[in-house]
Amino acid sequence: MSQPLPRHVAIIMDGNGRWAKAHKIKVALGHRKGVEALRAIIRESSDLGIEALSLYAFSTENWRRSPQEVAALMGLLLEYFTSEIDELDEKNVRIRILGDKDGMPDKQRAALINAEARTRDNTGLNLNLAINYGGRAELARAARLLAEKAVRGEIAPEDIGEDALANELYTAGLPDVDLLIRTSGEMRLSNFLLYQCAYAEFLFPETLWPDFGLEDYHAALAAFAGRDRRFGGRKA
């Protein structure tokens, strides 16, 4: 595998709807096919020894979709956690949910809480699933948590810097995103990991998410390895 590997890969898994349309099948089946793609990418990330993988599964804006599509996605989510948790735990994967679990339906919320609790002590791949997630909401929440600490006298306002803020994000303790991939050719962040992507390298493959396979993933990792990252500095 091409070196250096990114420590933290983030993926906006986009294109399930267009994939379903192209195959003249229901959008729910496009999402189902998308889950299959996700399984393979998670397994490969774990096998490669990538430290963190963040996947955008459901945004705070995705509630705007039809009740049928939202219900299909919620159903798939529950199914996913029920069927995958044993294998993920066995692979030493630690699951974190990025997003507002309280805004989820009861069964889904319970499954998310269980997955986090069960894998809390695992030391392999950090698998972050962004569900009911919005980057701005995450930053607002971090500001609120810091304000509450200040009111309680636990921190002074002058102690609030970048590290203090990062520590209140869902990704606290994890490295910043090195590589962000958005499939389906769309070139926008759609409110994903706004803070964590400050110096991420971006890749926008045309492939629709259900077709994104290991070859595409390896090509993305190779493209990342060829990037010249300067972080504002200048190389000699």
Instruction: Please say if 62 is a catalytic residue.
Output: yes
**151 burial level (CB within 10 Å; 0-12, 13-18, 19+):** exposed
Name the active-site residue from 16, 47, 62, 167. Answer: 62
Q: Is 84 in the site for Mg ion (CB under 5 A)?
A: no
Rounded CA-CA distance 118/127 in Å is 13
Nearest approach, Cβ of 69 to ligand IPE (angstroms)? 8
Nearest approach, Cβ of 17 to Mg ion (angstroms)? 6
Cα dihedral 133/137/139/142 (nearest 10): -90
Tell me which stretch binds Mg ion (CB under 5 A): 13-21, 75-83, 102-110, 153-161: 13-21
Rounded CA-CA distance 109/191 in Å is 22
In the list 5, 7, 18, 141, the residue contacting ligand IPE (rule: CB under 6 A) is 18
Which of the choices Mg ion, ligand IPE, none does residue 224 contact, using the CB cut-off of 5 to 8 A by kind?
none
**Encoded amino acid at 21, one letter:** K
Rounded CA-CA distance 154/149 in Å is 5
Contact 96, 129 (CB under 8 A): yes
Instruction: Please say if 191 is a catalytic residue.
Output: no
The residue number whose beta carbon is nearest to ligand IPE equals 17
Q: Is 75 in the site for ligand IPE (CB under 6 A)?
A: no
Q: Is 57 in the site for ligand IPE (CB under 6 A)?
A: yes
CB burial string 94-123: b at 16+ within 10 A, e below:
bbbbbbbbeebeeebbebbeebeeebeebe
Q: Is 16 in the site for ligand IPE (CB under 6 A)?
A: yes
Q: Is 205 in the site for ligand IPE (CB under 6 A)?
A: no
Instruction: Give contact residues for ligand IPE (rule: CB under 6 A).
Output: 12-18, 56-59, 62, 73, 184, 186, 188, 190
